[in-house]
Amino acid sequence: MKYYEGCEEITREKTRDFQAKMKLGYDFKKAYAARRAWEFYNHPEVAGRCYVAVGGLDSITLFLFLRSIGIDVPATSVSMLEDRSIQRVHKALGVKGLLPVVNQKTKRPYNKVEVIREYGFPVLSKEIAGKIYTLQHPTEKNATVRHAIMTGETGAYGGYRKGTRMKMAQKWLEIFGGPENEREGTDYKTAPFQVSELCCYYLKEKPCDDYAKESGRFPYMGLMASEGGRRQKALMLNGCNYISKTTKRSAPFAIFTRQDLLTMTLEMEAWYQEHWEEFDGNGEHLETIVPEIYGKIVRDPLNMTQEEIEEYKAEHGGTEPEGQLRTTKAQRTGCSMCGFGIHIEKRPNRFDQLRHRNPREWEMWMKHICQDETGEWYGWGRVLDYIGIGWEDDLFDREDPKPLCEECVERLKKDFTLEGPEEAPHKGTCWACRRKRKVVNRFAVEEVQG
């Protein structure tokens, strides 16, 4: 067996074991998270020198969970990148604020606009954006990598394999592979803007890394494999705790699903209300640990037949099934300028929600970030147009009702009051999920409160 084939088998075994744990019940996962968190804390190379990297709801919940099981360590965040409601929760919990990396041109910390102008738009995913950035910045050193991105063929280091996952998906090669046309004999398009995955590095990752080096501490992170992407691959391969010569980190919630996380959040809500005075937040008491941008955590009605209910009870020791938990507003948050995952997000997506929440900020991000060689200003609008994602049309436009399939109507009715003409469903493409379905025309009147 060749070396890389043996590695692939080990990877498959680790993945199967990890996926099996993800299917287990919440009580197991909660106990497993506590055990892994303490194992990391007590590891001789860590020896309690830890901190929590805090951002949105996932890591806020993790910070409280660690405190609830007796792990009292500092928390840090580049809070200035987060929504104001998240910043307020950070402040009340005593989270230490960090600054982004210093821009050597201005001698001030980078801001979001500067990073995009200098390096490119963070779009699709970190992995894809990194590949596009490599294609847009060719060097002699990355020639082999660029060839692998274009063809899937690796060099000596990769065992001269073909058809590897290094190749970028064909749909993205078609519109981003242009810089390699001459070298590869292809006829792909070249994007009229730069793409990069480096925003996270300069705004978040390096400030946390610098803090870790200066303080000698190692991070707990609220990462979950269920979020997909690079983190899914890394967590499935390395598990909750990863300790090497160069990296030490713990992700106690690695095997959690979104439902597990929200269940834990509700538990930590109750725990916080009993222990809020223990936090160094200048005496501020939060009515809820859930930042306003997420709305409230609610449980949807159970959507199961009686037969399905009985099957569930038989498989779970007689436990009654419950409806799905969700947040009434944002499901996930992050930098308002981030486009990772936007191509798989149903509308109204994060940019649509920003438009409703803060029209002036939306206008800036959509149209006034960069200037092209003609002097024309552009922003995320040009990027979204290029990858085929709508952004100018608004669900709240009464004069332009949107075609919605039955599934999306039911989904959106949880968050918005919808109105529209009385009409029979007709064939069309759903505005929200972009699938060809029978649709009806609807517009949003107001948000559902509660």
Q: What pLDDT score was predicted for residue 160?
A: 67
Residue 282 has pLDDT above 80, yes or no: no
Give the C-alpha separation, 240 to 254, whole Å.
6
Write the CA distances from 263 to 76, 85, 227, integer angstroms.
24, 21, 16
Give the C-alpha separation, 402 to 407, whole Å.
14
Q: Up-side HSE of residue 302: CA atoms within 13 Å toward CB? A: 9
Q: What is the pLDDT of residues 295-317, one digit of tens each?
A: 899 998 888 888 888 888 777 66
Pick the residue with more confidence: 158 or 105? 105
In terms of Cα–Cα distance, which of 58, 4, 79, 67 is closest to 331? 58
Q: What pLDDT score was predicted for residue 4?
A: 44
Residue 162 has pLDDT above 90, yes or no: no
Q: Is 218 helix (H, G, I), strand (E, B) or coil?
A: strand
Structure-derived torsion over alpha carbons of residues 129, 133, 134, 137, reported in degrees to the nearest 10: 180
Give the C-alpha separation, 297 to 348, whole Å.
19
Q: What pLDDT score was predicted for residue 1?
A: 43
Q: What is the pLDDT of residues 83-122, one digit of tens each?
A: 889 999 999 999 999 988 888 888 898 888 999 999 999 9
Return the minimum-mean-pLDDT range out of 104-118, 170-184, 392-406: 104-118
14 CB neighbour count, 10 Å cutoff: 14
Most confident of 99-103, 132-136, 343-347: 132-136
Indicate the average pLDDT of the chain.
Answer: 91
43-50 long-range CB contacts below 8 Å, 24 or more apart? 43/241, 43/243, 43/248, 45/243, 45/248, 46/218, 46/243, 46/248, 48/73, 49/215, 49/216, 49/217, 49/218, 50/217, 50/218, 50/219, 50/220, 50/250
Q: Are strands 339-340 and 123-124 parallel, antiparallel or unpaired?
A: parallel
Q: What pLDDT score was predicted for residue 231?
A: 78
- Split at pLDDT 50, 70, 90, the class of 6 is low
Pick the residue with more confidence: 324 or 171? 171
Residue 3 has pLDDT above 50, yes or no: no
Residue 184 has pLDDT above 50, yes or no: yes
Return the minimum-mean-pLDDT range out of 24-38, 182-196, 338-352: 338-352
Most confident of 11-15, 99-103, 382-386, 415-419: 382-386
Average pLDDT for 255-266: 96
Q: What pLDDT score was predicted for residue 433?
A: 95
Residue 289 has pLDDT above 90, yes or no: yes
Amino acid found at 446 = E
Residue 449 has pLDDT above 80, yes or no: no
Tokens of 343: 């191509």
Q: What pLDDT score was predicted for residue 270?
A: 98
Give the C-alpha separation, 321 to 211, whole Å.
44
In terms of Cα–Cα distance, which of 345, 361, 351, 343 is closest to 381? 351
Tokens of 63: 């910070």
Percent of the chain with pLDDT over 70: 95
Give the C-alpha separation, 427 to 440, whole Å.
9
Pick the residue with more confidence: 9 or 393? 393
423 CB neighbour count, 10 Å cutoff: 10
Q: Is the peptide bond before 348 cis (omega within 30 degrees of 0)?
A: yes
- According to DSSP, the residues that pair with 419 across neighbouring strands are 443
Average pLDDT for 345-355: 91
- Split at pLDDT 50, 70, 90, the class of 268 is very high
Q: Is 446 helix (H, G, I), strand (E, B) or coil?
A: strand
Tokens of 101: 């990396």
